[in-house]
Amino acid sequence: MQELNVNELKEAQESLIRYCGEFVPFIAEKAFGSYIYDKKGNTVLDFTSGQMCSVFGHNHPKFIEILEKSGDKAIHLLSSILSSPVINLSKKLSSELPDSLSKCIFLNTGSESNEVAIRMAKLVTGGFEIVGFSGSWHGMTAGAQSYTYSKTRKGYGPAMSGSLMIPAPYEYRCPIAHCKNSCDNTCLEVGMQMIDQQSVGEYAALIAEPLLSAAGMIELKPNYVKRLKELCDERGLLLIFDEAQTALGRLGKTFAFENYNVTPDFLTLSKTLGGGLPLSAMVTSKEIEEECYKRGFVYVTSHVSDPFCASFGLAAFEILFEEELADRAIKNGAYLKQQLIELQEQHECIGDVRGKGLLLGVEIVKDREFKIPDDHLGQRICNRCLELGLNMNIVRMKGYGSVFRIAPPLTITKKEIDLGISILDKAIKDSMS
């Protein structure tokens, strides 16, 4: 069992703003691969890839090499000055995408990449209404937060005008109490009818994650996305895919939208693109970029097109392809999911196991028949996992239950998966007693 850093945490909180509730009593000193270490030598197996960013494991050797050589390179430049890493990353990224996605901009966070997409969608359409999903998470900046329908909205005043919401296709808990464990798109049809009634006729875009993480690990299925695109086209809504967590192999493809016969108008990337470094991107078509340019598009930040972070994006693609991590995500994801299903058979508190590749969800309930979410038990299990040496992340939002978001590095081994499952098993048993 871990010797947690309780006293050090108390001292730290005297000078830190608590921005995510309470901090956990583990003070990290270093990290490598699938593990995090503190200065006492305690080891924690990381089932969240940091903040779902270290998709290639912590401190990948290729990233360390870039860090070691960075002193001989440009790290930061004026926004209007380009560099080789930025140009090469734009070429590499566009080469991996359909022809209609060929114009890139590089920033730091997912919030920023979504802000750019929203800003360009509004400029090119002339509209201002943006549609998002219930429970979604697209960022903490003012625009992205306005179309984020999770627990982060209350207490901060009005959202942006034109913020509209449709229900997420949550099969385990049908939002319109219609289907049971098999979505038939009725919630989508009803949702679109409802926003039509709310709209003032100024549609701009719809923003969606291929797998809604904060909403409870809800996967958008191919037939659903096909119909979603049709409904967007009927209304003149441009489609934004936010692939913060789902890109670069996480769901078994380089980009999750490759699982659909649908190409978005805007693709936003973050988290996984930098592999743990602050790098994000927004990609759109030549036509949209040209029209926005004619209309005077501006998006200047202190660190747009920074060469240092762009270097990590280039390395990310090298790692992804050289180590065949998308294929490993499929194989190890299937193995991990089967282990979780076997845990579900042993523990009544596991109501549902879902997700794709190495982005999986486990929902904790009081009762399987009535599916009553058990927030308190979920938190006890989460805390006990950390004590036993496993870092887990749980969603605690009313209406979405208590859902573990399981996203280990794509480099994880079966032995590490087995270790994580054994710890989770014990944590559940200890928390139920």
Angle at 259 between CA 254 and CA 264, to 5 degrees: 85
The band of 22, judged by pLDDT with boundaries at 50, 70 and 90, is: confident
Q: Residue 422 domain-assigned?
A: yes
Q: Which domain holds residue 252?
A: 66-322
The torsion angles phi and psi of 320, rounded to 5 degrees, stand at: -55, -45
Whether residue 186 is found in the same domain as residue 249:
yes
Q: Residue 1 domain-assigned?
A: no
Angle at 205 between CA 203 and CA 208, to 5 degrees: 140
Whether residue 15 is found in the same domain as residue 112:
no
Whether residue 276 is found in the same domain as residue 343:
no
- The span from the CA of 280 to the CA of 86, in Å, is 12
What is the model's pLDDT at position 138?
96
pLDDT exceeds 70 at position 430: yes
The Cα-based distances of 430 to 296, 333, 395 in angstroms read 60, 26, 20
- The span from the CA of 145 to the CA of 252, in Å, is 29
Strand partners, 212: 218
The band of 162, judged by pLDDT with boundaries at 50, 70 and 90, is: very high
CATH number of the domain at 365, please: 3.90.1150.10
Higher pLDDT: 175 or 429? It is 429
The Cα-based distances of 289 to 135, 203, 284, 298, 300 in angstroms read 30, 19, 7, 11, 15
Distance of CA 100 to the CA centre of its chain: 24
Whether residue 98 is found in the same domain as residue 132:
yes
Mean per-residue pLDDT over the chain, rounded: 94
Whether residue 49 is found in the same domain as residue 133:
no
Question: Which of 322, 345, 376 corresponds to the end of one domain?
Answer: 322
Q: Residue 83 domain-assigned?
A: yes
How does pLDDT run across 193-203, given as a tens digit for each residue? 999 999 999 99
**Residues labelled catalytic:** 137, 209, 242, 245, 271, 405
Whether residue 213 is found in the same domain as residue 346:
no
pTM of the predicted structure, to 2 decimals: 0.95
What is the model's pLDDT at position 175?
81
How deeply is 159 buried, as exposed, middle or buried, from its count of CB atoms within 10 A (0-12, 13-18, 19+)? middle
pLDDT exceeds 90 at position 123: yes
Q: Residue 293 domain-assigned?
A: yes
What percent of the chain is predicted at pLDDT more than 70? 97
pLDDT exceeds 60 at position 372: yes
| Structure tokens given for 224 | 């659903």
Angle at 47 between CA 43 and CA 53, to 5 degrees: 105
User: Going by C-beta distance under 8 Å and a sequence separation of 6 or more, which residues neighbour residue 277?
Assistant: 63, 309, 312
Question: Which of 274, 296, 322 corresponds to the end of one domain?
Answer: 322
CATH number of the domain at 121, please: 3.40.640.10
- If you average pLDDT over residues 183-208, what whole number do you get? 95
Question: Which of 293, 322, 351 corresponds to the end of one domain?
Answer: 322
- If you average pLDDT over residues 363-380, what whole number do you get? 92
In the block, tokens 């895919």 appear at: 241
What is the model's pLDDT at position 310?
97
- The span from the CA of 151 to the CA of 148, in Å, is 9
Whether residue 257 is found in the same domain as residue 333:
no
Residue type, 88: N
Q: Residue 45 domain-assigned?
A: yes
What is the model's pLDDT at position 225?
97
Which string of DSSP letters, residue by residue, matches 211-251? EETTTTSEEPPHHHHHHHHHHHHHHTPEEEEE-TTTTTTTT
What is the model's pLDDT at position 398?
61
Q: Residue 61 domain-assigned?
A: no
What is the model's pLDDT at position 396?
61
Number of folded domains that form the chain: 2
Whether residue 29 is found in the same domain as residue 125:
no
**Residue 186 CB neighbour total at 10 angstroms:** 15
Whether residue 235 is found in the same domain as residue 350:
no
Whether residue 158 is found in the same domain as residue 288:
yes
Which stretches within 323-374 are classed as H helix?
325-346
**Residue 142 CB neighbour total at 10 angstroms:** 12
The torsion angles phi and psi of 214, rounded to 5 degrees, stand at: -65, -25
| Structure tokens given for 196 | 């039509």
- The span from the CA of 271 to the CA of 50, in Å, is 10
- The span from the CA of 200 to the CA of 122, in Å, is 14
Residue type, 415: K
Whether residue 87 is found in the same domain as residue 184:
yes
pLDDT exceeds 90 at position 178: no
- The span from the CA of 399 to the CA of 207, in Å, is 21
In the block, tokens 């004590």 appear at: 387
- If you average pLDDT over residues 226-242, what whole number do you get? 98
What is the model's pLDDT at position 20?
84
Q: Residue 169 domain-assigned?
A: yes
What is the model's pLDDT at position 184?
86
- The span from the CA of 393 to the CA of 53, in Å, is 13
Whether residue 341 is found in the same domain as residue 420:
yes
Q: Residue 162 domain-assigned?
A: yes
- If you average pLDDT over residues 258-278, what whole number do you get? 96
User: Going by C-beta distance under 8 Å and a sequence separation of 6 or more, which residues neighbour residue 20?
Assistant: none
